[in-house]
Amino acid sequence: MKSSMVKFLLIIVIVIGTIPLYSLTAFGALATPTLNVSASSGTCNLSWNGISGATGYDIYRNGNWYRWVSTTSTADTGLSNGTTYTYTVAAQNANVSPIDTSPQSASKTCTPSSGGGGGSLSAPTLNVSASSATCSLSWNSVSGATGYDVFRNGTWYRWVNGLSTIDSGLSNGTTYTYTVSAQNANSTPIVTSPQSASKNCTPNGTTNPSGFIVSQAQFNQMFPNRNSFYTYSGLVAALSSFPAFTNTGSDTIKKREAAAFLGNVAQETGHLQHIVEINTANYPFYCASHAQYPCAPGKQYYGRGPIQLSWNYNYGAAGAALGLPLLSNPDLVAQDASVAWKTALWFWVTQTGAGTMTSHNAIVNGVGFGETIRTINGSIECNGGSPQSVNNRVSYFTNFANILGVSTGSNLTC
């Protein structure tokens, strides 16, 4: 009996010892995808065949998991041209427990290049110009593009949906290299053109020849579709009448005041498209009883100019301050760009309007942009009078502050 038991156990050991050992990782019924890659500027485009039973696909880049997608293609953007990337893909079924994952595909390499690819989009032609601490970029429109990627010193810098951008806050004397590429974000995968030829820009540290803290290029960027009446030279000519404007405090405060003033102007004039008030039904109603500045016979004092100067007493006071016959000839504000800008600056720097302080003091004393709105339009917009108008002003101010490279400060609404 003992001998039989030993023999039986020996057989069991032999049988067990002959059972083959398999990997503990099973891939269920999912097959391995076949991966294809192609390169364009800053981009690797990946595609593969659909796998039966797969609910999605894991993408690996340079040996590390990168992303999961539910489709059979993806575009890896924002890459460095000239750098080689290695990809694999694995199918996955997330509806089973444990999750089934196929073996990874054979690896494929991809090297983005600024000289190739780009689908049907052509490369833009880039132009650059330098001023103090600033590089101004512009380029031609590319058919089919929904926006443009701007690269600085070989690295992606920003995306814009226009045909120009200003890079401010730079170091004078330092050379910066720029390229731009067109992009169509409505396609799948996203189509990106080759990058433009590179252009160098060296901010020169010279003072803006106009003496105004806003350059003409920045002014053009703020108001690209303005009425030709509103000239930059007219604004610059008006500055000497109010030397405290954008000339008080630190550079940040000076630029913030410029952005605040022009942000309010944008709201008042539809981004400098309207010279006179568009609601003609209001024209007869801007005549108030006033001993010092009574209405002149046959004259109307509706909104005119960048800040839409209104009412007989404002025309009279502005004319007295500027040495101009605005009470008897209010149309001067709509006929001479320099006069128009002077009336806007007169109100901004010297008048408290519907508020308790001038708009100039609200900015330079740190009270906040919201008080400039109150001074200009009071309860018509503030305290819930017109939230959309207030939001518009804040949006324009914020955009212009960004162009000038400064923060907006606090207390933006009223």
* Contact call for residues 156 and 195 (beta carbons, < 8 A): no
Tokens of 113: 């290049």
Least Cα distance to 41 among 194, 199, 197, 196 occurs for 194
3-class SS shares of the chain: helix, strand, coil, % to 5? 30, 20, 50
Task: Please tell me whether residue 38 adopts helix, strand or coil conformation.
Answer: strand
Instruction: State the Cα–Cα distance between residues 189 and 81, nearest whole angstrom.
Output: 18
State how far the Cα of 218 lies from the Cα of 231, in Å rounded to an integer.
Answer: 13
What is the Cα gyration radius of the chain?
33
CB 139 within 8 A of CB 210: no
How far apart, in Å, are the Cα atoms of 408 and each of 171, 188, 219, 255? 22, 38, 18, 10
State residue 140 phi and psi, 5-degree precision.
Answer: -80, 155
Q: How far is CA 320 from the centre of its chain?
A: 42
- Judge whether 268 counts as a catalytic residue: yes
Residue from 84, 185, 199 nearest 150 by CA? 199
387-404 vs 251-269: helix crossing angle, rounded to 10: 140
Active-site positions read: 268
